[in-house]
Amino acid sequence: MPANLPPHYFEAEKRYREAKTPEDKIRALEEMLTIMPKHKGTDKLRASLTSKIAKFKAQAQQRKSTSKRETAYNIEKEGALQVAIIGAPNTGKSSLVASLTKATPEIADFPHTTWKPTPGMANFENIQFQLIDTPPITKDFIDPWMADLMRRADVLAILVDIKDDPFKQFEDTITVLNNLRIYPKEMPIPKDLSKKPFIKKALLVVNKVDTEKDEEDFEVFLELSELSITCAPFSSKTHKLKKPFLKKVYEVGEIIRVYTKAPGKEPDLNSPFIMPKDSTLEDLAGKIHKDFLEKLKYAKIWGTSVFDGQMVQKDYVLRDGDVVELHI
């Protein structure tokens, strides 16, 4: 074959032939396109795949308006935050999840699992985040169940590729989100919406920042794009940006860690209670047990905003790192 296609192309082609829905056809065709080397010998074939994709997209769109058959992937939340890793094709979503967790979403091999959400747990200090790898979203195609997944997630990490056209990728993804009534918290929300918007904590992850030169490009991108959303550079090829990225996730997630202790004992600093920022002592008591909530009289706190062992009441607003001794 003149095009010199690798074996997994034919696996994708087999899936294409076997696919029963336009969505599955599109997925297989997009895989085939990604796998196919770009050169003169493949020009014709690529054009033919692209036009097939367009045809099935039109079909999928039509079906969506007539039927509401949806596969739901309800991924149970684990750890301190559930983070949906989303964005345009090839921005490195699977690589990010693979580099930070034990999950093994395929990056070059294109098995079926690439097209299902794949969760993995990432360690950050003494807590974990659940990162969910997802299929690509583009302006003309998104898996129907993705809306649910994104609306449920605690944080959306929007990936773009510094080596591609990050600004356009970001805008395209935002367009898709807005069409699903999903709005990053720090970005403008139209006032005249007829239905309730889903306002989400979100982080823009500028990916593939592998080298110092890429870091400069990232700085330029920040300056030129003047985005109001929190941004973090990342690279799955190097180690240095991993922890700073997870720290940004922690900050954007707006959570705090508090520790409880018994009188005269040391707190267990390995198992924090995760609370939303600005939670009160009363919220913590309720989280521990409803008996605590009813019987709580006061607490003693060790932390940055109080003196050691300071007595506080139920309305005390907890701070990150507080050690709490509850008294009933």
Ligand X SMILES: Nc1nc2c(ncn2[C@@H]2O[C@H](COP(=O)(O)OP(=O)(O)O)[C@@H](O)[C@H]2O)c(=O)[nH]1
**CB of residue 91 to ligand X, shortest distance in Å:** 4
Q: Which does 144 bind (CB under 5 to 8 A by kind): Mg ion, ligand X, none?
A: none
Q: How many whole angstroms separate alpha carbon 151 and alpha carbon 197?
A: 10
Q: How many whole angstroms separate alpha carbon 27 and alpha carbon 23?
A: 6
Which one, 34 or 230, has the nearer CB to Mg ion? 34
**CB of residue 167 to ligand X, shortest distance in Å:** 17
Which one, 46 or 287, has the nearer CB to ligand X? 46
Which one, 30 or 322, has the nearer CB to ligand X? 30
Q: Which residues of 189-210 are buried (b: 16+ CB within 10 A; e: fewer)?
A: eeeeeeeeeeebbbbbbbbbbb
Q: Which does 260 bind (CB under 5 to 8 A by kind): ligand X, Mg ion, none?
A: none
Which one, 95 or 279, has the nearer CB to ligand X? 95
Which one, 27 or 257, has the nearer CB to ligand X? 27
Q: Which does 235 bind (CB under 5 to 8 A by kind): ligand X, Mg ion, none?
A: ligand X
Q: Which does 95 bind (CB under 5 to 8 A by kind): ligand X, Mg ion, none?
A: ligand X
Q: Which does 138 bind (CB under 5 to 8 A by kind): ligand X, Mg ion, none?
A: none
Which one, 106 or 215, has the nearer CB to Mg ion? 106
Contact at 8 Å (CB) between 288 and 251?
Answer: no
**CB of residue 149 to Mg ion, shortest distance in Å:** 14
In whole angstroms, how far apart are CA 62 and each of 55, 82, 137, 147?
11, 32, 18, 18
Q: Which does 79 bind (CB under 5 to 8 A by kind): ligand X, Mg ion, none?
A: none
Which one, 35 or 155, has the nearer CB to ligand X? 35
Which residue of this chain has its Cβ atom nearest to ligand X in the complex?
A: 92
Contact at 8 Å (CB) between 62 and 140?
Answer: no
Q: Which residues bind ligand X (CB under 6 A)?
A: 89-95, 107, 136, 207-208, 210, 235-237
**CB of residue 154 to ligand X, shortest distance in Å:** 21
Which one, 3 or 107, has the nearer CB to ligand X? 107
**Closest to 203 measured CA to CA, from 237, 157, 236, 170:** 157
Among 94, 130, 169, 235, binds Mg ion (CB under 5 A): 94
**CB of residue 201 to ligand X, shortest distance in Å:** 21
**CB of residue 200 to ligand X, shortest distance in Å:** 19
Which residue of this chain has its Cβ atom nearest to Mg ion in the complex?
A: 94
Indicate whether 101 belongs to the interface with Mg ion (CB under 5 A): no
> Could you list the residues that contact Mg ion (CB under 5 A)?
93-94
